[in-house]
């Protein structure tokens, strides 16, 4: 991390200038302090953490990695643990518990106040990847008949414990969400106006069981600072704040990149993930793809007579396979991305297909011209080479077209079948296209060069 200088802080610690160190740490952002603490030995970590003022300590604690949190918890007295845990937001505690070993979880639960414990338990019940699992239960709720002045009083009284105060939620007596209001609107209004007349009815909301990817899209689309989350009966259960939505965005992007490169998504950052976990995340798809590529190999053996007659044919296989694979990867990436952002849906299929067909036509022309020129320049333009160039041209054009068709169709089909379109990411497309390209190649070659 290049955001701040860790060395000067280490020097202060080594020189036992604890007062100066404490002041320096207080001036930093919590995440920066957390990065510094992670670099220390366990004993130093516990020692420096205890230097910090209580309110800041909790903010820093929540930014730390699981390992450092565990180290601290096992060094904490029950009283220290109690004071840190009860400063945290319920959603952060829930996230933390999911990573901790059972004995640590029990100690945390035992030291949490009953209201926190209850919120955390609720949050832990929502499926991973659901809106419920990323929301927080600490929000400001108002009633419609409050005046703006009363609402501000209420915010002042309850605000310090809420994740955001800028968007407040109006609920009725049965906790149904009936509107939202921004602090900005209230600041610009008269104190005696009521919340009910200023609020926005029918606010954008998410269901607790909604996919978190869909929550993220609502933030992107509607420029929200927070999104209310309700149960099936429109009762307000929690909110997602924009900073948590950004974290989910990041995680989803990381997952998509992993899938694009035929890996299971990693839960932790690259350097913090153990070697075996990395290997495990990568091996499954490598095996599947290796065995699928075997199929392409088997196809090739069927055409031994062809390349025994003209061995040069073999040397074009990599070019044909790679170009087909790359074309397929381009289309599938575009389509997977557009599906992920809801920019295209299944009923756009024929528009997408027609577009990809026209694109592959343009691309084929250029690739075939360049490749023909290259081959004839390198090997001369006798009648045999002209025939081979013809074979390559036909194969290239067919491979590009097929790659683009498969590349756009398979992800959309996967989505249609309720599967994640990203399983049709480029490596799988490449393997499928490879086999098809080889098949086309040797069939065209056999016909044009009269080989079989």
Site for its own copies in 200-259 (CB under 8 A): 202, 204, 219-223, 225, 242-243, 246-247, 249-250, 253-254, 256-258
Pairing relationship of beta strands 226-230 and 236-241 according to DSSP bridges: antiparallel
How many residues touch its own copies under the rule CB under 8 A: the total is: 112
Given candidates 270, 383, 417, 450, which one binds its own copies under the rule CB under 8 A? 270
| DSSP characters over 98-117 | HHS-HHHHHHHHHHS-HHHH
Q: Which residues of 121-149 are buried (b: 16+ CB within 10 A; e: fewer)?
A: ebbbebeebbbbbbbbbbbbbbbbebbbe
* Binding of its own copies by 296 (CB under 8 A): yes
Q: Does 401 bind its own copies (CB under 8 A)?
A: no
For 12-24, b/e burial (b = at least 16 CB within 10 A) is: bbeeeeeeebeee
Q: What is the 3-state secondary structure (H, E, C) of 361-426?
A: HHHHHHHHHHHHHHHHHHHCCCHHHHHHHHHHHHHHHHHHHHHHHHHHHHHHHHHHCCCCHHHHCH
Q: Per CB under 8 A, which of residues 33..72 are in contact with its own copies?
A: none
* Among 50, 67, 351, 416, interactor with its own copies by CB under 8 A: 351
Residues in the chain, how many?
452
Cα–Cα dist 118/236, whole Å: 16
CB of 155 to its own copies, least distance (A): 6
> Which of 26, 125, 149, 370 is the binder for its own copies (CB under 8 A)?
370
Would you give the end-to-end CA distance of the chain in angstroms? 62
How many C-beta neighbours within 10 Å does residue 231 have?
Answer: 16
- Applying CB under 8 A, among 144, 165, 376, 390 the residue interacting with its own copies is 165
Q: Does 6 bind its own copies (CB under 8 A)?
A: no
**Whose Cβ is closer to its own copies: residue 5's or residue 118's?**
5
**Which lies closer to its own copies via its Cβ, residue 28 or residue 209?**
28
**Shortest Å distance, C-beta 237 to its own copies:** 22
Is there binding between residue 297 and its own copies (CB under 8 A)?
yes
Separation of alpha carbons 298 and 214, rounded Å: 43
Q: Shortest gap between Cβ of 256 and its own copies (angstroms)?
A: 8
Beta bridge partners of 130: 211
Return the number of the residue (208 or 426) whose C-beta is nearest its own copies: 426
> What residue spans of 112-178 are helical by DSSP H?
114-124, 131-134, 148-158
Question: Which residue in the set 362, 382, 384, 447 belongs to the binding site for its own copies (CB under 8 A)?
Answer: 362
Q: Which of residues 14-33 bind its own copies (CB under 8 A)?
A: 27, 29, 31
Q: Where are the beta strands (DSSP E) in 222-288?
A: 226-230, 236-241
Closer residue to its own copies in complex, CB, 145/308: 308
Tell me how far apart the alpha carbons of residues 119 and 123 are, in angstroms, rounded to a whole number.
6
**Could you give the CA distance from residue 423 to residue 420 in angstroms, rounded to a whole number?**
6
Residue 152, interface with its own copies (CB under 8 A)? yes
**What is the nearest approach in angstroms of its own copies to the Cβ of residue 448?**
19
Strand partners, 236: 230
Burial class (CB in 10 A: 0-12, 13-18, 19+), 414: middle
Query: Judged by CB under 8 A, does residue 2 bind its own copies?
Result: yes
Q: Is 144 in the site for its own copies (CB under 8 A)?
A: no
Q: How many alpha carbons fall within 13 Å on the CB side of residue 418? A: 0
Under the binding rule (CB under 8 A), the answer on residue 353 touching its own copies is no
85: contact with its own copies by CB under 8 A: no
Rounded distance, CA 87 to CA 250, Å? 26
**Residue 168-187 contact track with its own copies, rule CB under 8 A, x = bound:** ---------------xx--x
Q: Which residues pair with 206 in a beta bridge?
A: 229
Q: Using the minimum distance from each CB to its own copies, give the nearer residue, 54 or 351.
A: 351
Nearest distance in Å: CB 286, its own copies: 6
Shortest CB 65 distance to its own copies, Å? 12
Nearest to its own copies of 104, 410 (CB atom): 410
**Segment near its own copies (CB under 8 A), from 48-56, 142-150, 151-159, 170-178?**
151-159
47 or 152, CB closer to its own copies? 152
**Site track 307-346 with its own copies (rule: CB under 8 A), x = hit:** xx--xx-xxxxxx-xxx-xxx-xx-xxxx-xx--xxxxx-
> Which stretch, 14-22, 171-179, 361-369, 415-423, contacts its own copies (CB under 8 A)?
361-369
């Amino acid at each position: 991390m290049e955001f701040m200088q860790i060395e000067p802080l280490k020097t202060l610690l080594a020189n036992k200038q604890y007062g100066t160190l404490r002041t320096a740490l207080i001036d930093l952002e919590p995440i920066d302090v957390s990065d510094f603490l992670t670099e220390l030995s366990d004993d130093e970590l516990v020692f420096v953490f205890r230097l910090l003022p209580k309110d800041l300590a909790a903010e820093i604690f929540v930014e730390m990695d699981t390992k450092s949190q565990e180290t601290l918890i096992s060094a904490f007295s029950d009283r220290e643990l109690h004071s840190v845990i009860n400063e945290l937001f319920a959603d952060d505690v829930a996230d933390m518990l999911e990573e901790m070993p059972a004995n640590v979880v029990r100690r945390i639960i035992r030291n949490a106040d009953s209201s926190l414990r209850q919120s955390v338990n609720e949050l832990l019940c929502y499926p991973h990847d659901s809106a419920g699992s990323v929301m927080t239960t600490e929000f400001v709720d108002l009633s419609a008949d409050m005046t703006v002045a009363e609402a501000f009083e209420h915010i002042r009284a309850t605000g310090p414990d809420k994740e955001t105060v800028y968007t407040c939620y109006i609920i009725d007596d049965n906790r149904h969400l009936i509107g939202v209001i921004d602090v900005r609107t209230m600041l610009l209004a008269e104190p005696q106006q009521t919340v009910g007349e200023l609020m926005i009815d029918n606010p954008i909301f998410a269901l607790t069981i909604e996919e978190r990817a869909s929550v993220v899209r609502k933030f992107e689309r509607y420029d929200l600072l927070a999104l209310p989350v309700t149960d099936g009966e429109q009762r307000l259960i929690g909110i997602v704040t924009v900073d948590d939505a950004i974290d989910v965005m990041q995680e989803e992007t990381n997952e998509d990149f992993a899938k694009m490169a035929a890996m299971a998504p990693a839960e932790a950052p690259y350097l913090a993930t153990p070697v075996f976990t990395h290997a495990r995340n990568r091996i499954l798809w490598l095996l599947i793809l290796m065995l699928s590529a075997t199929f392409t190999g088997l196809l090739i053996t069927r055409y031994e007579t062809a390349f025994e007659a003209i061995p040069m044919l073999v040397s074009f296989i990599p070019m044909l396979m790679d170009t087909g694979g790359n074309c397929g990867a381009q289309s599938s990436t575009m389509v997977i991305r557009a599906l992920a952002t809801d920019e295209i849906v299944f009923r756009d299929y024929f528009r997408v297909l027609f577009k990809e067909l026209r694109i592959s036509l343009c691309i084929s022309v250029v690739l075939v011209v360049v490749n023909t020129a290259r081959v004839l320049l390198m090997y001369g333009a006798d009648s045999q080479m002209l025939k081979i160039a013809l074979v390559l041209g036909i194969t290239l054009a067919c491979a590009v077209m097929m790659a683009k068709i498969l590349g756009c169709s398979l992800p959309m089909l996967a989505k249609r079948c309720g599967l994640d379109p990203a399983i049709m990411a480029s490596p799988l497309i490449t393997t499928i296209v490879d086999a098809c390209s080889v098949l086309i190649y040797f069939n065209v070659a056999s016909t044009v060069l009269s080989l079989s």
